[in-house]
Amino acid sequence: MATLAFDVTQLNPVYRPYLTDTHRYQIFFGGSSSGKSVFLATRAVLDVLQGRNILVARKVGHTLRASVWNEVGKAIDRLGIQDQFDIRTSEMTVTARANGAQILFAGLDDVEKIKSLTPARGALTDVWMEEATECDRADFKQLDKRLRGQTRHLKRVTMSFNPVYKTHWIYEDFFSGFADGDTSYQNAKVSILKTTYLDNRFLTEDDASSLRAETDPYYRAVYTLGDWGTLGDSVFTNWHTEDLRPLRRLYRDRYIGLDFGFARDPSAAVNCALDRPGRRVLVFDELYETGLVIWELARRLERFAGRNLITCDSADPRSIAELRALGVRALPARKGPDSVLHGLQWLQGHELVVNVTCHNLCRELSHYRWKKDAAGNSLPAPEPGDDHLIDALRYALECEQLNRRAVVRRKREVGL
């Protein structure tokens, strides 16, 4: 077995006891920049030298390379042990030369890869789910099952994330013994460590002061203090992600909504379907791009929307007219009185199933919150800002929120 003269002062002290933790389930959660990813990447590198085979998973495959893959590379560099590994960038594999054990990477959206993935030598011993709150319970179960086969190592599923809100399945499944205010917890099944930027002695003063300066209550709770966000603040807790590819063909009637943007704000559109009996909205695709001039947007929409009608933000009649002149079937949203609240309440009455590829919409949904008054009570209006796709979603389904006849008339009104 390879041994490494390893200087533990390279690691933040709070994490050091977890180098040898053998709980089946391990949770590292808390605030931003608390050193979770760097620690777990370093531990993965040290563990693979001990013969562990580790799968690093995220919900969406294309986010791996710029995040965990880089972290593992940096950990190897920091330890100065590049010569002990065979690193294949195109396949994203790291193989320990001495024992053949591997660190493998996969996105949960790549079902085939997840199914067929096996280490070159021996069985998988570890799964590390980075940003695990992006994943649903079924993803976790699937990965947990992947840890089968003979090995001398105790098997582990490690999850790292920023806490979102308490109705999340991770909270429900693992946090019953963890009280608000605790920083660590263990039972026979799980170990939990909560950290914040204060636990990271390697953080630059700039990064620390921007976290200290956060004034938004939700962001401060989750990203500065590492606390689970409060349920009452979130507009949407009735949503989850799913791989919707198998359902694409079943739902041919699509609803398209568009929110205009250009320089700072993106042009934002969603392509969704309605499952009326199941009271579900299925969001298949998102378009989210800044800097599109109108003919570029028209070209994108051709592919994005096909021949479906597109309900657009009516605050910009000129853009709608221009899109129509370019052959796009664009309609203005009606935006009656209270349409925002009405639209949001309508969406709250449905389960929102968001395709795993729609990561901008997922971000918006998880951060979208009601405004508060000075006493901290929620007001019936959302906090504006990071909400372009949510606006597009309201527009897309506006005709369902009004009534169907109105829509037919509206099409005639505009000569479609």
Ligand X SMILES: Nc1ncnc2c1ncn2[C@@H]1O[C@H](COP(=O)(O)OP(=O)(O)OP(=O)(O)O)[C@@H](O)[C@H]1O
Contacts with ligand X by CB under 6 A lie at 10-12, 32-38, 162, 200, 202-203
Closest approach, Cβ 219 to ligand X, in A, equals 12
Please say whether the beta carbons of 70 and 59 come within 8 A. Answer: no
Closest approach, Cβ 201 to ligand X, in A, equals 8
H helices within 231-386, ranges in order? 294-305, 317-325, 339-348, 359-367
Closest approach, Cβ 127 to Mg ion, in A, equals 16
Burial (CB count within 10 angstroms: exposed 0-12, middle 13-18, buried 19+), residue 247 = middle
Among Mg ion, ligand X, none, partner that 162 touches (CB below 5 to 8 angstroms by kind) = ligand X
Distances (CA, A) of 415 to 324, 365, 402, 410: 11, 35, 20, 9
211 or 294: whose CB is closer to Mg ion?
Answer: 211
Please say whether the beta carbons of 281 and 350 come within 8 A. Answer: yes
DSSP state at residue 234? B
Closest approach, Cβ 76 to ligand X, in A, equals 13
Please identify, among the stretches 34-42, 92-100, 335-343, 346-354, the one whose residues bind Mg ion according to the rule CB under 5 A.
34-42
What single-letter amino acid sits at 227? D
> How many residues touch Mg ion (CB under 5 A)?
1
Closest approach, Cβ 182 to ligand X, in A, equals 18
Please say whether the beta carbons of 96 and 49 come within 8 A. Answer: yes
Among Mg ion, ligand X, none, partner that 38 touches (CB below 5 to 8 angstroms by kind) = ligand X
58 or 350: whose CB is closer to Mg ion?
Answer: 58
Among Mg ion, ligand X, none, partner that 84 touches (CB below 5 to 8 angstroms by kind) = none
Q: To 10 degrees, the CA torsion angle through 322, 324, 330, 332?
A: 60
Place of tokens 């479906």: 308
Number of C-beta neighbours around residue 221 at 10 A: 18
Q: Interface with Mg ion includes 267 (CB under 5 A)?
A: no
Please say whether the beta carbons of 202 and 33 come within 8 A. Answer: no
Distance of CA 289 to the CA centre of its chain: 18
Q: Interface with Mg ion includes 37 (CB under 5 A)?
A: yes
11 or 92: whose CB is closer to ligand X?
Answer: 11
Among Mg ion, ligand X, none, partner that 202 touches (CB below 5 to 8 angstroms by kind) = ligand X
Helix (H) or strand (E) holding 361: helix 359-367
35 or 257: whose CB is closer to ligand X?
Answer: 35
Among Mg ion, ligand X, none, partner that 211 touches (CB below 5 to 8 angstroms by kind) = none
Please identify, among the stretches 33-41, 220-228, 263-271, 356-364, the one whose residues bind Mg ion according to the rule CB under 5 A.
33-41
Q: Where does this chain bind Mg ion (CB under 5 A)?
A: 37
